[in-house]
Structure 1
Amino acid sequence: MFPYRKILELYEEKTSLRNIAMITQHSRQKITEVIQLAEKKGITLPFGDEMTDPWLEDFLYPEKKQEMSGRHLMDFEKVHKELAKPNITLTLLHDEYVREAQSAGKIPYAYRTFTEHYHEYAMKYKATLRIRRKPGELLEVDWAGSTMSVIDPDTGEKRKVYVFIATLPCSQLFYVEGSYKMDLPSWVRLHQHAFEYIGGTTQILVPDNLKTGVTKHTSKELILNKTYSEMAAHYQTVIMPARVLSPKDKASVEGSVNIVTTWIIQALRNVKCFSLEELNKEIFKKLEELNHRPFQNRPGSRWSAFLEEEKFALSPLPDTPYRLSEWRKFEVRPDYHINVNSMFYSVPFELIGKEVDIKVSPTVIEVYFHHMRVASHPTLYGKFGQHSTLKEHMPANHRLYVEQTPEEAMKWATEMGQSTLQVVTFILDYYEVEKQALNSIFTLKKLERTYSPYEIEQACKRVLEATSRPTVKSVQTMIKTIRKEDERKASEINSKTTDEKYGFTRGASYYGGNNK
């Protein structure tokens, strides 16, 4: 038998190729080939007891077994890499292998033998077996059944800590963190930490049917929590909860729960921590030990398997992390406001009495009606009872009333015309008390309910031609006069048009009749 192990051990001891060739009685060319293959396939010291010369020969030259059978050679490395791609299956790869064998004039392996050979190769030489799971496809999440605790430094009482677990089924890498609560904000935050730990996101999230994530799950209907669904969309992943009473749908995380319970929860049972941050530091130390612990029956560890076999398949994290928001339902009050945490936010007055969806976040309050956003306000903080009211949400008469400021009065007058602006400017300068001036201008603005902006501007223009001290009363009188004049002129025009249309009427004498 060729001394593969002896050669590699001598090389690791920094023995020269010339001396290795003299000791083993083999050519330097063959020795160099073996060393390069071993480096390429990641074989390093220390060597396990199972790594005998026959084992190393199978590992370095897997095609030798196939050559002895007389069948068309399988490219195990190619099969393993192809299976990492989405929608690629062993059935498809076997079909391609059969066509390749036929074109070469050789006998292919049957499908069952093909899969058995790949299974043997992956279990012995690879960190993952891709018949079961695609890399980067799933992330299974759950709460551990057992809990931990921290000691309150003031009272000495123990406070319960729940343990969150996330597992990648392909590489079996897992993430663990403690939390005081099992509520929605904690659930979302822990997902974010898990994504940051693995440096990306998977195609699918597989949670249990807990109420924080899944509102309703039956064979006919699936309703997800809006915030949880929104978080998944932000990270470009899809939530597919495990079926009710079907633990096999998330078998990896169920298995990780047992490992975490033994090697983290129980391993830290005698460690006293006085804050959640302190406990999580201890958890993370144990987590790193577990993820870097070598596999018993194959090369590598969970961490090396993740880096080599799965990390490349993860989707990149978004540029900004997800900002937690909460969805609520409210009925719009008669004053066209909604109450969120004792703060009041306006919505369009047309929605009074209607039910709307509210998206509450630390920075913004968004209001949706029939899935369309109808209002948005910065989140208010401080004293309860504050109002955030947008003018465009008010009825016209309310808007007219609240816009009683000198600035708004000047802005309105400018829109009306130059003469109206002169009248408003005079009124603001004339009254010593600003409130009196604004009340007069408010009366002037109410003319818009009956008259057009053109009529208001013309009335102001005529009043200014008649006096240098215009009043609102004079403008009201003048605009009524202008309206009557316009109506009279319109009547005269209509009468004249009627006369021109029908001309004069001929009498009976014109037609030879007698006037009696």
Structure 2
Amino acid sequence: MANKLTDMSKIRKVIKLYCGGNSKQFISSYLSLSRNTVKKYISLFESEGLSIECIENKSDSELEELFCSGKAAPVNVKLDALYCFFPQMERDLKKVGITVTHMWEKYIALHPDGLGSTQFRHHYKIWSKRVNSSMHMDHKSGDKMYIDYAGKTLSIIDTSTGEAKEVQFFVAILGASQYTYAEASMSQKKEDFVRSVENAMRFFGGVPAAIVPDNLKSAVTKSCRYEPEINETLQDLADHYETTILPARSYKPQDKALVENVIKILYTRVHAHLHGKEYYSIEDLNKAIATLMNSHNRRKLTARPYSRLDLFTEDEKQELRPLPNKHFEIRYQSFATVMQNGHVQLSEDKNYYSVPYQYIRKKVKLSYTSGTVEIYYKYNRIALHKRNYKQYVYTTTSEHLASTHRFVSQWSAERFIEWAEKIDSSVKEYIVHIIESRTHPEQAYKSCMGILGFEKKAGGERLIGACKRALDFEVYSFKAIQKILENNLETAPFEDRNQELPDHHNIRGKHYYN
């Protein structure tokens, strides 16, 4: 009697392990049963159309009668036809609007004497667990792209030091087809992360309805079960590609099962092949990864007559939304206070951009890409400029400035030199010296403005004479010209004017050395 009880216990364990997705070979080894015995129990279980709940509810005597009476399986032919139907059914279920009920109706139309709807669903559940025990979610074509970094990193050789440098391994997978993209990147920082996500979509040739990252710091700034905070740069990417970010839910392993499973596979199909080989640039490493990934995507899926590439090209590619023409540009931010002259400094480039004069002394946000600079005040954009990389340059929109500032905004070295040249070559020479004597040209603009203004105040001839005398003494300042004109030194004999110039220990004049 004890042996019979033991046999019935093992039958229950066989069926439970089988319904849990374990292989017949594993069950045989784990329970110390012959493979033929395991096959017999499973065949009888399937042929009778039983469920695990039904087995648990049967008494030992009922199980003995069912499994030990030598009863043959009467519906094996039906099951064979059913299980041959499942691979295509799995593909069709990934299409929007297709349900298991639709597929049963299609099956029963092909096999009028086939199994009923309840048994149909039961056997499909068993089949799907057996062929892919890690997959418990239905994925619609074009719906989600799952992304993550592998725990194990790769490396490249630093050509300057000869040392191995660790690099990250990024993976993206489309839910329905399991078509996979992978690349090496220098870090998991948001710039590298966002660029890898974009590269994945460009590789797939389309945009999924949603991107599902794990709760990486590069993707999620603050985890929350209901409304996690998305990294602003990643959100900008999603806006550019018109998709949605759906972070994997904390403590919900099924959300990450797909990408984690493919990472485990890639450890064997990618990492193992790269081990022991040396790569001297991220580009060379990614070329090797691309070759291995091509083989991975072309390999037939377990217990299925098709590959990931087949599923992608035939079922999922057309469901992805078109890519935008322009690539995404990463946006950076900084804060500054608007200066009195109506401009704000972009500290990274050390240059200046105008804003409407009403915002003078206000604190504003600069949001900039490689091509544009946007300036915001309290979430409202108040200025937009083309980015200029030259240092100490003012980029100005005249409408931004008050009338008193508009004239000043037009100051430039070229303007003052041209103005001086129209008066006389000696005035031009003096203005050039003024500009060149300052650390930055803009420091000289007020001096230039004051000196050239003497043309109206004192007359052109007197200004020319004053500039010639100042050039003679090699003294370059507004005050020097002002002193000469105030004391009428522009026409005085040389020997009389030496004591009249502004007190300066270097003022001797070029005639002193003759």
Using structure 1 for the length normalisation, give the TM-score. Answer: 0.57
Alpha-carbon distance in structure 1 between the residues aligned to 2:400 and 2:92: 58
Alpha-carbon distance in structure 1 between the residues aligned to 2:152 and 2:162: 21
Alignment of 1:64-463 (within 5 A): 83-86=93-96, 88-90=98-100, 93=102, 112-116=118-122, 132-335=138-341, 336-341=343-348, 342-382=350-390, 384-403=391-410
Tell me, which stretches of 5 or more residues in structure 2 are unaligned?
1-74, 80-84, 429-448, 458-514
CA displacement, residues 266-295 of structure 1 (integer Å, 9 cap, x when unaligned): 321111111111111111111111111222
* Corresponding position of 2:470: none
Name the CA shift for 1:262/1:332 in 2 (closer, same or farther; >3 Å).
farther
| Native 8 Å contact 2:225 2:250 kept in 1 | no
Shift of 1:238: 0.6
Name the CA shift for 1:401/1:438 in 2 (closer, same or farther; >3 Å).
farther
Shift of 1:400: 4.1
| Native 8 Å contact 1:431 1:437 kept in 2 | no
> Secondary structure of the equivalent of 2:376?
strand
* Corresponding position of 1:421: none
Shift of 1:310: 1.6
Shift of 1:437: 12
Name the CA shift for 1:308/1:277 in 2 (closer, same or farther; >3 Å).
same
| Native 8 Å contact 2:137 2:254 kept in 1 | no
Name the CA shift for 1:358/1:158 in 2 (closer, same or farther; >3 Å).
same
Name the CA shift for 1:333/1:66 in 2 (closer, same or farther; >3 Å).
farther
Name the CA shift for 1:209/1:256 in 2 (closer, same or farther; >3 Å).
same
CA displacement, residues 329-383 of structure 1 (integer Å, 9 cap, x when unaligned): 444444441333023222223223444332211111112234332211222224x
| Native 8 Å contact 2:337 2:344 kept in 1 | no
Shift of 1:439: 5.1
| Native 8 Å contact 2:94 2:138 kept in 1 | no
Alpha-carbon distance in structure 1 between the residues aligned to 2:115 and 2:410: 85
| Native 8 Å contact 1:150 1:273 kept in 2 | yes
Alpha-carbon distance in structure 2 between the residues aligned to 1:133 and 1:221: 23
Alpha-carbon distance in structure 2 between the residues aligned to 1:353 and 1:215: 31
Shift of 1:141: 0.5
Shift of 1:390: 2.3
Identity of matched residues, %: 31
Name the CA shift for 1:351/1:225 in 2 (closer, same or farther; >3 Å).
farther
Deviation larger for 384-393 or 432-441? 432-441
Name the CA shift for 1:396/1:317 in 2 (closer, same or farther; >3 Å).
same
> Secondary structure of the equivalent of 2:327?
coil
Deviation larger for 77-86 or 237-246? 77-86
Name the CA shift for 1:333/1:140 in 2 (closer, same or farther; >3 Å).
farther
Deviation larger for 391-400 or 267-276? 391-400
CA RMSD of aligned residues (A): 4.3
| Native 8 Å contact 1:247 1:254 kept in 2 | no
Name the CA shift for 1:255/1:332 in 2 (closer, same or farther; >3 Å).
farther
Alpha-carbon distance in structure 1 between the residues aligned to 2:88 and 2:279: 50
* Corresponding position of 1:17: none
Alpha-carbon distance in structure 2 between the residues aligned to 1:211 and 1:333: 36
Alpha-carbon distance in structure 2 between the residues aligned to 1:327 and 1:205: 24
Name the CA shift for 1:205/1:318 in 2 (closer, same or farther; >3 Å).
same
CA displacement, residues 55-74 of structure 1 (integer Å, 9 cap, x when unaligned): xxxxxxxxxx89979xxxxx
Alpha-carbon distance in structure 2 between the residues aligned to 1:221 and 1:315: 25
**Alignment length, in residue pairs?**
346
Question: Match for 1:363: what amino acid?
Answer: G
Question: Match for 1:365: what amino acid?
Answer: V
Alpha-carbon distance in structure 1 between the residues aligned to 2:87 and 2:163: 57
Higher Cα radius of gyration: 1
Alignment of 1:11-90 (within 5 A): 83-86=93-96, 88-90=98-100
Alpha-carbon distance in structure 1 between the residues aligned to 2:130 and 2:305: 8
Alpha-carbon distance in structure 1 between the residues aligned to 2:455 and 2:251: 72
Using structure 2 for the length normalisation, give the TM-score. Answer: 0.57
Tell me, which stretches of 5 or more residues in structure 1 are unaligned?
1-64, 70-74, 409-427, 444-516
Name the CA shift for 1:77/1:296 in 2 (closer, same or farther; >3 Å).
closer
| Native 8 Å contact 1:227 1:327 kept in 2 | no
Question: Match for 2:274: what amino acid?
Answer: L
> Secondary structure of the equivalent of 1:253?
helix
Question: Match for 2:384: what amino acid?
Answer: S
